A and B are shown apart, each in its own frame.
Chain A
Amino acid sequence: MIEVSNISKSFTLHNQGGATINVLEGCSFTVAAGECVALTGMSGAGKSTVMRMLYGNYLADAGRIEVAALNLVEAEPREILALRKGTLGYVSQFLRVVPRVSTLDVVAEPLLVNGVAEDEARDRAAQMLARLNLPQALWDLSPTTFSGGEQQRVNVARGFVYDYPALLLDEPTASLDGQNREVVLSLIEDAKSRGAAIVGIFHDDGARARVCDREIDVTSFSVGRAA
């Protein structure tokens, strides 16, 4: 489902003397349907960079990144948008939404853009928010003023409300209490059993051990740190 071959990434900071930071080189791995793979390595190794490249948010300098047979490195913006719409979900650590849109609508959106009828989309969004124990009193409010843990659950709800065949999870259990951490882990297990290919960053060792089938140490692709 996800096939990364030989990608490299550097950042050139034109306004800081043209400094070039080489981050990754020769990064290759694959993730099959129904598999959850953890990216590991210390801070700065490039875990988030890999995740962002998998989502088309960062450009790769070279190599191939295939998600559902689309090579992101050469794809047109509209092809990447189409992939994100129906195939590739992303639970990030940041919630970026238009102010004023209710939490229920924010969570229902992935269903609406995939053609699910409005009533059903809202029902499913409500079920997902209830499963994540987000108080119903918050559903009609914009999540922009929520606490970190509440925003995190809105992010998780958005990522799991639609059955994406591929999912990227950036610390999905961060800032969650034990009960909600358990809900998120069961959502990941459900997604795996329906055949989703998942790539995640988990600083929570217990969570990683429970849901991940394999680990990929990004440090081995880090430039200057590998040796």
Chain B
Amino acid sequence: MSVTPLLDVRGVTKHYGRHIGCKDVGFKLYPGEVMGIVGESGSGKTTLLNCLAGHQAADAGQVIFDTRVEGPRDTLLMSEPERRMLGRTDWAFVHQHARDGLRMGVSAGGNVGERLMAVGARHYGDIREQALDWLERVEIDGARVDDRPTTFSGGMQQRLQIARNLVTGPRLVFMDEPTGGLDVSVQARLLDLLRGLVRGMGLSAIVVTHDLAVVRLLADRLMVMKDGHVVETGLTDQVLDDPQHAYTQLLVSSVLQV
């Protein structure tokens, strides 16, 4: 299969002084694939995600994205305006804490509409209509469109953040612990929603989490990190059911059965 990878990551490395954030990470992500990155706190998974998404500067490596117009380009070498444009169009970033990804002083509809306006939408009626459509898709009552996210529950805020991110039809979504900090029942709803959206829109996604149940249901492939290094990769169910590395075995066997 000679398909161009959507994202081709090579040798991404980030140090914090003498401490390793992540070291020599490489992988290819193909269109429509969802990759999970698991590991405990401090394993470097969030550092890696931030380097990939351009939120942190990597010390070395390449993050080659298959752009719509110019084909594969190393995003680490892009100018700041180019990268910002990418972040508003083809890329989306779902933060663990919804308030990091939302504008808390702006209405729900405004939060969704703002991203549309950033890519040039100007017609108020259209923007409002699309915002309402997206609120419905993420199961937020349209009657709340003019309310601020500060009046929303944690689960609703997270769903609003997802709507804000997906409204522009991105091709690649970065997610940092998207279900972290939510009640288990709310997590299931969010997972179901995310899975439906990812499948329906043919999105590619990179999901960082420490929750193995989340990756089992959401991710096609898995990357396991420890101390900044990738220790194991493979098909999600294979890595979870037949883990090869000592650390992965420990991780899998440490999950409490319910």
Contacts and interface: CB of A to CB of B under 8 A. Distances in A.
Contact of B192 (A52, A59, A77, A98): A98
A43 interface: no
B191 interface: yes
B220 interface: yes
Interface in B229-252: 234-235, 237-238, 241-242, 244-246, 249-250
Contact of B249 (A14, A57, A78, A113): A14
Interface in A125-174: none
Contact of A77 (B199, B235, B250): B235
A123 interface: no
Contacts of B85: none
Contacts of A78: 1, 30, 33, 220-221
Interface residues of A, number: 22
| Interface class of chain A by DSSP | loop
Contacts, number: 56
Contacts of A79: 1
A171 B250 CA distance: 30
A58 B220 contact: no
B192 A99 contact: yes
Interface in A67-113: 77-82, 96, 98-101, 113
A13 B253 CA distance: 11
B78 interface: no
A52 to B, nearest CB: 7
B103 to A, nearest CB: 30
Contacts of A99: 188, 192
A15 interface: yes
Contacts of A113: 199
Interface in A41-80: 52, 56-59, 77-80
Interface of B: 1, 30, 33, 188-189, 191-192, 195, 199, 216-217, 220-221, 234-235, 237-238, 241-242, 244-246, 249-250, 253
